Every structure is written in C-alpha cells, then in structure tokens.
Amino acid sequence: MSAPSLLIKELAFAYPDGTQALYGVNLSINKGERVALLGPNGAGKTTLVMHMNGIHPTAHGSVHVAGQLVDAKDKESLKQIRSKVGIVFQDPDDQLFMPTVGEDIAFGPYNMGIRGEELDAVVDNALAQVGMSEFKNRPPHHLSFGQRRRVAVATVLAMKPEILVLDEPSSNLDPASRRELADILRSLDITMVMVTHDLPYAYELCERSVILSGGIIVADDSTHSILTNESLLKTNRLELPVGFSISQRV
C-alpha cells in the first residue's frame, strides 16, 4: 500500500508568546480521501494546516506528506513538500497577483523549472479542470469573486499536488458559484482537506470529518455521524443552518 497522503503524529505547537495551539495531534489521511476539518474559531485549524507545508516548523511530533517528512530546516525537501501541499486561501486576491489568469497559473510551475509547450499544457489543463479556459488572457481583477476563487484553485492544481487544502472555500459565494465550485471539487481525483464552518458544504463534499477543538482532535468519524450528533456539535460551537436536515438527505 502507498503511504498516507498525510500522517501527523503527536504534533504540538506553541506560539512565541506562549499560547499553546496544538496538543499532541494525531491524524492520518489516505490518498484520495476528502476530509473536512471542523471546529470553532481558535481551535487550531489554521495552525495545523500551516504545519502541512512547513510554514510553521515542527517543534514537537512529526508531519509526513506522501511518506516524506516535513522538515523546515531542509530547504530542498521543503520546496518539494510545498509543491505537494497546495493551499487555496479564503481570499483569492491573496493568491492572484499576475497581469493575466494564465500567468498566475504558470507562476508556480515556471518556478519549478517547467518551460515552453509543457508549461502551456499545464496551464491549459488546470484551467480546463476549473472551467475557466476562456479566461486565460483576462486580468484576474476583471473576474467575479467566484471566478477568482476557481482560478486560485487552478493555480494550485497546476502544481499537481498530493493534497489540496481549501480554507473556507464556500465563503462569500453566491448560490450558483457555490454549486459550481462544489461540482469542480467533486470532479477532482485528489486528496482534499477542507477547513470550513459551512457544515452543509462539508456534508456535500467530504465523507469524513475531523473536529479540532482546543488544540486537540475531539472527533474523527463519517461526516454523517458527526453532523447528526447534536451534543457534539453544540459542545464544539458548530451549528447546522436552520431548516437543514441531514436525515432527509441520506
């Protein structure tokens, strides 16, 4: 069997001011799994994600991506890890900075040494995956918010990552854009970690969910089991929208 896409063992982390964000987190995600990372604000979700590609150095415990140790001190290894863990930020404008959509998508692969026809093919394939081929030569700031988010996803897919990490992917999207993005994400053959407060979106796209609270994992189960456990949700300040019924959707 291949190594898990993500293997975290006894990961603990404290910020320089002494704030302890993670307390011995253990998590394994197999290749192709789609996992929602849930929890209240301040639970440690962002801190955990920042360890996946070495933005936060591992002070205690270990993180492996596709069998490779994430080691912030090994610059060459870290470069490889960051091509394997693609993070799509909540605000696409944090990710898009080139004059055209095509140049934004080419930026990462170009810096990995890809050139010429191969680079063109990578860009075109990433655009096709998110349904944005016709916008290749368009300035990103001329696009709608939903379109910019899809381009942000494409910039990550162009790197052919092992893991696609999405930070609140449904936030600020109108209903049509929300559905269109869900259709795109559902079509991708990739390991996915979705950090979200949008429980219906987690239910729609992720068969498994993990709740992080107070820096520890307090639940790891099927998304259905977690979202039908009212006391668990209440304890961890998670709420389904009024009128949304899990039982009617099974």
- Beta-bridged to residue 14, according to DSSP, are 20
- CA neighbor of 128 nearest in space, from 153, 111, 109: 153
The CATH code of the domain at 6-249 is 3.40.50.300
Give the pLDDT band (50/70/90) at residue 76: confident
Give the pLDDT band (50/70/90) at residue 245: confident
Q: What is the mean pLDDT of residues 120-142?
A: 96
Q: For residue 69, how far is the Cα from the chain centroid?
A: 19
Given a cut of 70, whether residue 182 has pLDDT beyond it is: yes
> Over the stretch 84-100, which tens digit does the pLDDT of each residue have?
999 999 999 999 999 99
> Over the stretch 57-75, which tens digit does the pLDDT of each residue have?
898 999 999 999 999 888 8
Residue 244's pLDDT is what?
Answer: 85
Q: What is the mean pLDDT of residues 155-174?
A: 95
- CA neighbor of 64 nearest in space, from 12, 2, 10, 5: 5
Give the pLDDT band (50/70/90) at residue 129: very high
Residue 250's pLDDT is what?
Answer: 41
- C-alpha to C-alpha distance for 165 and 86, rounded to whole angstroms: 6
- Beta-bridged to residue 210, according to DSSP, are 37, 220
What DSSP character marks residue 138?
S
Backbone torsions φ then ψ of 211, nearest 5 degrees: -105, 125
By three-state DSSP, how is residue 87 classified?
Answer: strand
Question: Tokens 């379109």 map to which residue?
Answer: 147
Residue 1's pLDDT is what?
Answer: 65
Given a cut of 60, whether residue 248 has pLDDT beyond it is: no
Which residues, in sequence order, are CB contacts of 15 under 8 Å at separation 6+?
A: 21
Given a cut of 90, whether residue 148 has pLDDT beyond it is: yes
Backbone torsions φ then ψ of 236, nearest 5 degrees: -105, 20
Distances in Å between the Cα of 62 and the Cα atoms of 65, 129, 211 are: 10, 33, 20
What percent of the chain is predicted at pLDDT more than 70?
98
